[in-house]
């Protein structure tokens, strides 16, 4: 579940409010180290997406899948909005995704570029608590 949520988030986190581009377009630079491991979740969703590809874009499907994950993990039911447009290439994504080796300044610059406040950034970073759920249920 965490991997699907992370896939959708990485698609979204390339948005720039300054340049008004990037964001959810069903396109990720999978060879970029910051996206390491996410091909697995793209490939997991792809056969399911193919059933619905005449109805919605890949970006909409990834967004919808992440809402399903949030709900299945015990989170709220978040209303879904359609209309994201897919891109075959996303060169503007380069350098926009978070580098986990950097600190607070880097994180705040990223969330400000996305249009979020510090408070909203803290709430969104709470998504990382999902990572331990599988491990906890096995313990």
> What are 130's strand-pairing partners?
none
Name the nearest CA neighbour of 97 among 11, 18, 26. Answer: 11
Q: Near ligand HEM by CB under 6 A, which window of 2-10, 16-24, 52-60, 77-85?
A: 2-10
Query: Could you tell me which residues are beta bridge partners of residue 21?
Result: 16
| 87-116 binders of ligand HEM (CB under 6 A) | 98, 100, 107, 110
Q: Determine, following the binding rule CB under 6 A, whether residue 70 of this chain makes contact with ligand HEM.
A: no
Q: Give the whole-angstrom CA distance, residue 118 versus residue 105.
A: 11
Alpha helices in 13-88 (DSSP H): 39-52, 58-72
Return the residue of 30, 37, 82, 120 that touches ligand HEM, per CB under 6 A: 37
CB of 55 to ligand HEM, least distance (A): 25
Strand partners of residue 106: none
- Closest CB to ligand HEM among 48 and 123? 123
Identify the DSSP state of 56: S
Polymer length of the chain: 139
Shortest separation between residue 52's beta carbon and ligand HEM, angstroms:
23
Residues in contact with ligand HEM by the rule CB under 6 A = 2-3, 5-6, 9, 36-37, 98, 100, 107, 110, 124-125, 127-128, 130-131
Q: Which residues are known catalytic residues? A: 10
């Amino acid at each position: 579940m965490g991997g699907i949520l992370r896939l959708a988030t990485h698609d979204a986190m390339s948005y720039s409010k300054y340049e008004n581009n990037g964001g959810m377009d069903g396109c990720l630079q999978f060879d970029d180290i910051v996206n390491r491991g996410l091909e697995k979740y793209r490939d997991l969703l792809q056969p399911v997406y193919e059933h619905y590809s005449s109805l919605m874009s890949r970006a909409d499907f990834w967004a919808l899948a992440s809402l399903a994950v949030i709900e299945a993990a015990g989170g709220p039911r978040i209303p879904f909005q359609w209309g994201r447009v897919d891109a075959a290439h996303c060169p503007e994504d380069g350098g926009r995704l978070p580098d986990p080796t950097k600190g607070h300044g880097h994180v705040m610059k990223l969330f400000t570029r996305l249009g979020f406040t510090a408070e909203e950034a803290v709430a969104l970073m709470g998504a990382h608590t999902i990572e331990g759920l599988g491990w906890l249920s096995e313990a």
